[in-house]
Every structure is written in structure tokens, then in C-alpha cells.
Amino acid sequence: MTTIPAKKLENGVEMPYLGLGVYKMTDREEAIQAMTEALKVGYRAIDTAALYGNETEVGEAIRSSNIPREELFVTTKVWNTDQGYDQTLKAFETSLKKLGLDYIDLYLTHWPVKEKFVDTYRAIERLYDEKLIRVTGVSNHHQHHLEKIFVKANVKPMVNQIELHPYLSQKPLLNFCSENNIAVTAWGPLGRGKILEDETISDLAGKYNKTAAQIILRWHYQNDVITIPKSVTTSRIQENMNIFDFELSQEDVRAIDDLNKDFRTGQDPDNFHFDF
Ligand SMILES: NC(=O)C1=CN([C@@H]2O[C@H](COP(=O)(O)OP(=O)(O)OC[C@H]3O[C@@H](n4cnc5c(N)ncnc54)[C@H](OP(=O)(O)O)[C@@H]3O)[C@@H](O)[C@H]2O)C=CC1
Ligand SMILES: O=C1CO[C@H](CO)[C@@H](O)[C@@H]1O
């Protein structure tokens, strides 16, 4: 079984470079089946959120896998309507109960809600001090959001989860995070399935005898980015982790870097609405 390599974070905790994203897994049977399959083939990280409505299923899949808790890396997120210091602590309790865990590996502010995201992060920092989480982090934060947090925080966010794929390569934000020892996780790493037909990527798939998804996930890995591709399809769950047995040349990494079009599949963190 392939062992997924891990990235050493700022505080020494190791986070797998690849995990299973579980957004849209709302059908209970389908969710448990996909999570169970992933854990069976070697995934050790799962990325959920209060918003996704499947924290209970994540907990069930974990328990029935019989994998020791310390080998797993569970991420969840505080949703926008629960932000602020006290509300975040409360939302965390709810997530912990739903997951049926006694700690969470990584807890993230889901989006930088104006006037609230700094207090939300301060609550995450408290959870870290109380050892209820192993790693602190945020999601969808731009440089200016992070700089506001730096002013108030004792512990800098260790992870920033952002939309990132070949059509949205986010180089300036990646560089800023790297300079500040903030690991980057790519959400929508496959462009939510919308960029798999790209001609450059298809050509590289032919050249390396891999699939388009594998080329993209390998590109992320070679750029030192953690990925959390979502799939409920057994063959794709396996396919997406078979990326550690080949290497793209530097020239081919750059060819994919050059595909950037600043194309977002989701909202812009500076101008987002969360009325759903
Ligand atoms: N922090 C945030 O704001 C956000 C976080 N996320 C997180 O990131 C995760 C991943 O992002 P997501 O939006 O799901 O998008 P992805 O880029 O992971 O794409 C998922 C889509 O691609 C398909 N797919 C997966 N693998 C393959 C493959 N090998 N070949 C062809 N198609 C494939 C899936 O289909 P199928 O399932 O049918 O196989 C699904 O339709 C989420 O699940 C969630 O955990 C996502 C959005 C926002
Ligand atoms: O995690 C998420 C899943 O996708 C949603 C719709 O784009 C996002 O808003 C949310 O952040």
C-alpha cells in the first residue's frame, strides 16, 4: 500500500500531502462508502466542515476503519454564521461531538468574515493552547487578512486552505505563505473537474502515461502544496493517490504554472456572500 508523504508544519506536526475532500458527500451511504474506501487504500487525512453536514459520517468511517487515531489527520472548519470568539468555541464543541473525537487535528476559519475573522482565529488559538486541536489554520484568507491576524495572534496560522489549481495558481499568495511558514492546502485541486480536458495537461498525461487528474495532483505536490481531491468513485479515489511514483520535469511543472488564468470556480474572498 502506498504511504502518502507528509509535510512538516511550523510546529513539527506532520500533515499528509494528500487527503480526501468530502464536500457534497451528503448521501450517508455514499459518504461512508467513499471515506471507508479511501482509508482502506491508504488515505489518512479527511477534510470536512460544519457546512458539509457529514461530520457524523466522518467519525463513523474513522471508527469502523480501526486505524489508530494518531495515524489520522482530521480537518474541519467553523462556518461563517458561527464566527466570533465565543461562537467559534461553541461551534467547535458541536463539531467535536458530531465527529465523536476528543481532539481535531486542524481547525480552520472557513472564510474571512469581515469584522469577525480575527476573533474567530483567536478562538482557534485558544483551542490550540488547550490542546483540543494540533494545528491552527484558516481558509480563503488573502495576505491582508493574514497580516491583520499576525498583529493579534501569538501563534501564526499554520495552514491556509485556498482555491488553487492550474487555472488559479495564486503565486503571490503562495510566496507570502511560504515566507511566513504557512502551509498551503489547495481546495478544488482539480478545478472541481472543470480543467481535466485542458490540452497541455492531456498532452502531459500521454507523455507520463498518467491521467489528467494525476498530472494536476503531482504538479501541486511538486509545488509543495497539500491537496484534498474529492471523489465518491472508488477507481478515482485510488487513482488520485497514485501520484508518488513519478516526477514531472521542471519544464513541465512550469508549463502547468503558465496555464494560470486567475479563474475561480468559487467566490473571491474579498467579495463573497454566504447566504446559503
Ligand atoms: N475551504 C473551502 O472554502 C473549500 C474547501 N473545499 C474542500 O476541497 C475539497 C476538494 O474540492 P472540490 O470542490 O470537491 O473539487 P475537486 O477539484 O476535488 O473536484 C471534485 C470533482 O472532480 C471529480 N473527480 C475527482 N477525481 C477525479 C478523477 N481522478 N478524474 C475525473 N474526475 C475526478 C469528482 O467526481 P466524483 O466525486 O463523482 O468522482 C468531483 O466532481 C472539497 O471536497 C472540500 O473538502 C472545497 C471547496 C471550498
Ligand atoms: O467549502 C465550501 C464548499 O464549496 C462552497 C461553494 O463553492 C464554498 O462556499 C465552501 O467554502
- Provide the ipTM: 0.99
**Proportion of the chain above pLDDT 90, given as a percent:** 97
Handedness of CA 79, 266, 264, 203 (dihedral sign): positive
Calculate mean pLDDT across residues 44-61: 98
pLDDT at residue 83 in the model: 97
Query: What's the gap in Å between 193 CA and the centre of ligand 2?
Result: 15
Give, for ligand 1, the residue of 18, 22, 23, 276 to mutate: max count of ligand atoms closer than 8 Å to Cβ: 23
Tens-place pLDDT, residues 213-272: 999 999 999 999 999 999 999 999 999 999 999 999 999 999 999 999 999 999 999 988
pLDDT at residue 276 in the model: 45
Query: What's the gap in Å between 271 CA and the centre of ligand 1?
Result: 22
pLDDT at residue 272 in the model: 82
Q: Is 110 annotated as a binding residue?
A: yes
Residue 275 confidence class, pLDDT cut points 50, 70, 90? low
Tell me if 219 is assigned to some domain. Answer: no
CA dist 168 and 10 (Å) reads 25
Tell me if 2 is assigned to some domain. Answer: no
* 94 Cβ neighbours under 8 A, 6+ residues apart: 50
Q: Is 107 a catalytic residue?
A: no
- For residue 276, the ligand 2 atom closest to its alpha carbon is 9
Number of domains in the chain: 1
Tell me if 139 is assigned to some domain. Answer: yes
| Rg, C-alpha atoms of the chain | 18
Tell me if 1 is assigned to some domain. Answer: no
Residues 52, 121, 128, 221: which is the catalytic one? 52
CA dist 200 and 168 (Å) reads 15
Tell me if 216 is assigned to some domain. Answer: no
Tens-place pLDDT, residues 178-223: 999 999 999 999 999 989 999 999 999 999 999 999 999 999 999 9
Query: The domain spanning residue 87 has which CATH number?
Result: 3.20.20.100
Closest residue CA from atom 11 of ligand 1: 188
Tell me if 206 is assigned to some domain. Answer: no
Calculate mean pLDDT across residues 68-93: 98
Query: What's the gap in Å between 212 CA and the centre of ligand 2?
Result: 23
Closest residue CA from atom 6 of ligand 2: 266
**Alpha carbon 129 to its chain's center:** 22
Closest residue CA from atom 8 of ligand 2: 266
Domain that holds residue 104: 14-190+224-232
Tell me if 244 is assigned to some domain. Answer: no
